[in-house]
Amino acid sequence: MTKIQIGSKLVYQVRQPTIFLLKIAAASTQHQVLSDESLTFDPQIDVEQCQVGLEGNRLHRLVVQPCQLSIAYQATAELTPEIERPRDVGESEAAQMPPEVLTYMNPSRYCESDLLARFAFEEFGQLDPGFGRVQAICDWVNRHLEYSPGSTTATTTASDVLLQRTGVCRDYAHLAITLCRGIGIPARYVSGYAVDLQPPDYHGFMEAFLDGHWYLFDPTRLASTLGLVRIGVGRDAADVAFSTLTGTAAMLEKNVWATSLGSQLPSSQDPAVSTA
């Protein structure tokens, strides 16, 4: 069990009445239990909490009149992941996969697995099936991309990244997801908090469906998979943007943190970690 304190503070200058859709609150799941959670707004504003998408991501919706708005979120997350030895985790057979994961084989906005299937098969089709194959994909992505903030935009896709070979966490995740889908492994995007991420920010990583469970991978290698706190999951970043605004508001400040409360995170040596 790992205990992680997470939080973020956002400040906006709201210039017109603006609808905020926020996806910054951590998920409550069997393997991720939240305590001491608070989400506060200054000035105070009525907020609606709802669940959206196939996986019931938490969404906070609020309508804000012109003002300077501070949003403060914090919680403590207790993680109790399932941990396996990588070599024990095989791939699920397509004929047996639970129907609800099939959606995560489809191409999506930033993960054009239809375009990259042949590439994926050529590079990774001959590897032994299983956890190690997804690791090989993540290694390939990590080795071939250069982490370069500002080199991509909100509309950059996996194909773009494969060609230009630079990006940030969301781009790494998109490319790895796309390559997984390309060889028939369901894969999805996860947004969240990551312990001791440098520079501190919301993080984007991924899950692949193997042997009946969703396993976590971070192709950037910037964080231990044992220190990832889930906000939401989706087909790609389009589904879990931390904020979507309709109106006019400028972000003045963004602070994100995640700290392990207990002892140091066990050095991972890349175990197979599942929290979903």
Total residues interacting with a copy of itself, rule: CB under 8 A: 41
Cβ neighbours around 81 below 10 Å, total: 20
State how far the Cα of 237 lies from the Cα of 178, in Å rounded to an integer.
12
What spatial distance separates the first Cα and last Cα of the chain, rounded to whole Å? 15
User: Looking at beta carbons only, is 15 or 144 nearer to a copy of itself?
Assistant: 144
3 state DSSP class of 172? helix
Tell which one of 95, 198, 263, 269 touches a copy of itself (CB under 8 A).
95
State how far the Cα of 236 lies from the Cα of 250, in Å rounded to an integer.
25
Taking CB under 8 A as the rule, does residue 246 contact a copy of itself? Answer: yes
Ranges of beta strands (E only) in 95-248 are: 146-147, 166-167, 187-194, 203-210, 213-217, 228-234, 243-246
Q: Interface residues for a copy of itself in 149-178 (CB under 8 A)? A: 154-155, 159, 162-166
Taking CB under 8 A as the rule, does residue 248 contact a copy of itself? Answer: no
Q: What is the smallest separation between the CB atom of 173 and a copy of itself, expressed in angstroms?
A: 16
Between 28 and 67, how does the x/- string for binding to a copy of itself read (CB under 8 A)?
----------------------xxxxx----x-x-x----
User: Looking at beta carbons only, is 184 or 271 nearer to a copy of itself?
Assistant: 184
Contact 240, 234 (CB under 8 A): yes
Strand order in the sheet with 187-194: 82-84, 272-274, 213-217, 203-210, 187-194, 228-234
Q: What is the smallest separation between the CB atom of 213 and a copy of itself, expressed in angstroms?
A: 19
State how far the Cα of 236 lies from the Cα of 205, in Å rounded to an integer.
10
Between 97 and 116, how does the x/- string for binding to a copy of itself read (CB under 8 A)?
--xx-xx--xxxx-xx-xxx
Taking CB under 8 A as the rule, does residue 250 contact a copy of itself? Answer: no
Element (H or E) spanning 137, and its range? helix 131-144
User: Looking at beta carbons only, is 50 or 250 nearer to a copy of itself?
Assistant: 50
State how far the Cα of 42 lies from the Cα of 6, in Å rounded to an integer.
19
Q: What is the smallest separation between the CB atom of 53 and a copy of itself, expressed in angstroms?
A: 5
User: Looking at beta carbons only, is 79 or 162 nearer to a copy of itself?
Assistant: 162
User: Looking at beta carbons only, is 81 or 184 nearer to a copy of itself?
Assistant: 184
Cβ neighbours around 99 below 10 Å, total: 6
Q: Which stretches of the chain bind a copy of itself, using CB under 8 A?
A: 19, 21, 50-54, 59, 61, 63, 94-95, 99-100, 102-103, 106-109, 111-112, 114-116, 118-119, 122, 144, 154-155, 159, 162-166, 184, 238-239, 246
